[in-house]
Amino acid sequence: MKWKNVEREFEEIKILFGMKNADVRLVIPKDFKVISGFALGSYWGRVDKTKKIITVKRNRPIQQIRNTIAHELAHLLFPNKPHWWIETFSYKIISIKDDYGRIGRYAKRYGHSPRELPSKKRLIEMAKEAAERLNL
Ligand SMILES: [Zn+2]
């Protein structure tokens, strides 16, 4: 996917989460490393919570890129949630199945169920509430 299109997905998901004017930037992996000191490596995406930047690997199917953007933004919106919750959040938001055709893979791996998270509609509301509360 062209970077310009990744940027468009980023802007759309920011709007979905009520983060239209948030001071959070999407940067290319090379710039992410310069700014944060961390390489993307084999990850699909990364976030630097202090610098408020995210990056994603662009050579992935669009749904995976959308999922990764939602995932990295969720780390900013819900800094205290465990990782399985963040994984399940983004899968529910983007409505994609994981490699095994299920949404619950990550939850199950950590002894949880995707049903522990509320509906997609409620999760979007929670994202908007968090964005407002955290001034994102
Ligand atoms: Zn993560």
CATH topology (fold) of 3-133? Zincin-like (3.30.2010)
**What's the gap in Å between 83 CA and the centre of ligand 1?**
6
Q: Which parts of the chain fold into alpha helices (H)?
A: 3-16, 29-36, 62-77, 83-94, 105-109, 120-133
The domain limits of the chain are 3-133
**What's the gap in Å between 26 CA and the centre of ligand 1?**
16
CB 51 within 8 A of CB 23: no
**What's the gap in Å between 71 CA and the centre of ligand 1?**
6
pLDDT tens, position by position, for the chain (136 residues)? 999 999 999 999 999 999 999 999 999 999 999 999 999 999 999 999 999 999 999 999 898 999 999 999 999 999 999 999 999 999 889 876 655 556 677 778 888 888 899 999 999 999 999 999 999 9
- Tell me what pLDDT residue 95 has: 75
- Tell me what pLDDT residue 110 has: 84
Residues in the chain: 136
Measured distance CA(80)–CA(34) in Å, rounded: 26
CB 130 within 8 A of CB 24: no
- Tell me what pLDDT residue 65 has: 94
- If we measure between CA atoms, which residue out of 13, 50, 46, 47 comes closest to residue 127? 13
**What's the gap in Å between 72 CA and the centre of ligand 1?**
6
**What's the gap in Å between 69 CA and the centre of ligand 1?**
10
**What's the gap in Å between 108 CA and the centre of ligand 1?**
16
**What's the gap in Å between 75 CA and the centre of ligand 1?**
7
**What's the gap in Å between 57 CA and the centre of ligand 1?**
14
Measured distance CA(96)–CA(104) in Å, rounded: 11
